[in-house]
C-alpha cells in the first residue's frame, strides 16, 4: 500500500502541472508527454555522470521549464495552435531524451543496495551467477565487495538516489516533503499579484491585456511553470523506479487529466489551496485503482496494456456525466470546441 501512495504522490505532481494548464490556464498542453520523460532522462543521465540527485532534479526542472517555454513561444509567437505546439515539442523531446540517455532507457547504476530485499543475493544468500562462472568467480567477487568499506558503499547508494525503496516510510516522508514544499510554494505564488492574474487568465485571457499584462507572457510563463513540475515528477519517478525510459511519458496527459478529475470528484466544490491538493489525492486514488486492476483484473481477461484505454474511457464518462448534470457546462463546452476549431490556424 505504501508504494501505491508513494507513486500516487509522485505522479500527482504531474497532475498539478496538468491542472495548471488545463484548469487554470485553460490550455491543453501535450508537452507533458515529452517533459515527463525529459525529467527522467536528464535526472538519471546526470546521476550517471556523478551529479548529486537533488542537483540533477533541479537541472531537470529547468529543462522541463525550457520545454514549456518553447511550446509557449511556438504557440504565441508563431500563432500555431497550442495542441500542435505541444505535439511538436513532445516529438522533439522523444529524440532528445534518447540522445540524453544514449539509448531508449537508462538505469541508475546502483548495483547493490543493502536495504533492498529484491536482490537475489539478499533473498537466497547466493550469487545468481555462481553456477555460470563457478566458485572461482564468486570468490573474486566476494573479495572485491569485502575490500570496499561498508560505509563507503552506503554513502555511494545515498548519493545515487534519494529513494531507497525500503517501504519503511522514509521514501514516503521524502516524497511528502517535496510535494508539500511544491504545493506551499505554488499556493503562496498563486496568491501574489502575478499568481492572481494567472488564475484569472483562464476565464478571461483578453481581460489580462486590458489590465496591462501581456497575454503572451502569461501563456508562456504558465506553460513553463507547468512543465517544471512535470519534469520534477518525471525525475522523481525515474529515481523511484531506478531507471528512465523514453516511453515513460506516454499517456501522461490523459493520466494527469484523470488524476485531476478524480481529485475534483473527491473534493467536489471544495477547493483547498486553490485545488492544488486535488491532483495529489487523485494520483493516489488513480494508482490504487491501477493496482487493484492489475491484481484482480486478469480474472476477467484484463491486461496491463488495457489501462490507458480504461483511463481514456474514464475521462469520457466523467465529462459525459458532468454534462448531463450541468446543462450550462454543455453550452460552455460547445462554445469552447467551436472557438478551438475556429482559432486553429493550422
Partner 1 sequence: MLKLENITVIYNQGQDNENMALKDVSLEANKSDFVVIVGSNGAGKSTLLNVILGKLKPTGGQYYLKDKAIKKLSISKMAHLIGRVYQNPDSGVFSNLTIRENLKIASKKGNRGPTFSRIDPKALELLEHLKMGLENRLDTVVGELSGGQKQALAMVMAVITNPEILLLDEHTASLDPKSARRVMELTKMINEELDVTVMMITHNMDFAESYGNRKVEIKEGVLKEIPERQTTAVYAM
Return residues touching partner 1 (CB under 8 A): 189, 191-197, 199-200, 202-204, 206-207, 209-214
Q: Which is nearer to partner 1, 292 or 340 (CB)?
A: 340
What is the secondary structure of 22-47 as a DSSP string? IIIS-----THHHHHHHHHHHHHHHH
Spatial distance between the Cα atoms of 80 and 86, rounded to a whole number of angstroms: 10
- Cβ 273 to partner 1 shortest distance, Å: 15
Q: How far apart are alpha carbons 235 and 59 in whole angstroms?
A: 10
**Comparison of 24 and 252: residue with beta carbon closer to partner 1:** 24
Nearer to partner 1, 111 or 196 (CB): 196
Which of 19, 163 has the CB closer to partner 1?
Answer: 19
Least distance from partner 1 to the Cβ atom of residue 228, Å: 15
Taking the least distance from each CB to partner 1, the nearer of 107 and 202 is: 202
Shortest spacing between CB 29 and partner 1, in angstroms: 19
Cell match 502569461: residue? 218
The alpha carbon of 325 is separated from its chain's Cα centroid by a whole number of angstroms, namely: 31
Q: Least CB distance from residue 16 to partner 1, whole Å?
A: 18
173: helix, strand or coil: helix
> How far apart are alpha carbons 42 and 40 in whole angstroms?
6
Residue of 220, 171, 176 lying closest to 13 (CA atoms)? 176
Rounded least distance, CB 55 to partner 1, Å:
24
Per DSSP, 106 falls in state E
Minimum CB distance to partner 1, residue 160 (Å): 35
Enumerate the H helices of the chain as residue ranges.
2-18, 32-48, 53-77, 82-101, 120-124, 130-147, 150-160, 170-191, 193-201, 205-210, 215-241, 252-267, 278-296, 307-325, 327-343
Q: Which is nearer to partner 1, 45 or 72 (CB)?
A: 72
Amino acid at each position: 500500500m505504501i508504494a501505491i501512495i508513494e507513486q500516487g504522490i509522485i505522479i500527482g505532481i504531474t497532475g498539478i502541472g496538468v491542472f495548471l494548464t488545463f484548469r487554470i490556464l485553460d490550455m491543453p498542453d501535450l508537452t507533458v508527454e515529452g517533459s515527463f520523460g525529459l525529467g527522467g532522462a536528464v535526472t538519471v543521465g546526470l546521476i550517471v555522470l556523478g551529479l548529486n540527485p537533488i542537483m540533477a532534479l533541479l537541472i531537470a526542472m529547468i529543462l522541463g521549464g525550457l520545454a514549456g517555454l518553447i511550446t509557449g513561444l511556438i504557440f504565441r509567437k508563431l500563432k500555431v495552435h497550442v495542441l500542435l505546439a505541444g505535439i511538436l515539442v513532445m516529438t522533439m523531446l522523444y529524440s532528445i531524451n534518447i540522445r540524453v540517455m544514449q539509448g531508449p532507457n537508462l538505469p541508475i547504476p546502483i548495483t547493490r543496495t543493502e536495504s533492498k530485499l529484491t536482490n537475489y543475493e539478499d533473498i537466497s544468500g547466493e550469487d545468481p551467477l555462481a553456477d555460470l562462472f563457478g566458485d572461482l568467480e564468486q570468490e573474486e567477487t566476494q573479495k572485491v565487495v569485502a575490500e570496499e568499506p561498508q560505509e563507503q558503499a552506503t554513502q555511494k547508494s545515498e548519493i545515487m538516489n534519494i529513494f531507497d525503496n525500503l517501504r519503511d516510510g522514509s521514501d514516503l516522508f521524502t516524497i511528502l516533503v517535496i510535494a508539500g514544499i511544491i504545493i506551499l510554494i505554488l499556493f503562496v505564488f498563486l496568491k501574489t499579484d502575478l499568481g492572481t492574474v494567472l488564475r484569472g487568465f483562464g476565464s478571461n485571457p483578453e481581460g489580462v491585456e486590458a489590465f496591462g499584462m501581456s497575454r503572451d507572457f502569461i501563456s508562456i510563463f504558465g506553460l513553463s511553470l507547468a512543465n517544471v513540475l512535470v519534469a520534477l515528477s518525471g525525475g522523481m519517478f525515474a529515481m523511484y523506479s531506478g531507471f528512465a525510459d523514453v516511453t515513460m511519458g506516454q499517456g501522461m496527459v490523459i493520466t494527469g487529466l484523470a488524476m485531476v478529475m478524480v481529485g475534483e470528484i473527491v473534493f467536489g466544490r471544495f477547493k483547498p489551496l486553490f485545488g492544488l491538493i486535488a491532483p495529489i489525492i487523485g494520483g493516489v486514488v488513480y494508482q490504487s485503482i491501477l493496482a487493484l486492476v492489475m491484481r484482480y483484473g486478469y480474472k476477467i481477461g484484463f491486461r496491463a496494456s488495457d489501462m490507458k484505454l480504461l483511463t481514456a474511457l474514464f475521462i469520457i464518462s466523467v465529462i459525459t456525466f458532468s454534462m448531463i448534470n450541468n446543462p450550462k457546462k454543455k453550452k460552455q463546452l460547445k462554445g469552447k470546441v467551436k472557438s478551438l476549431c475556429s482559432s486553429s490556424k493550422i
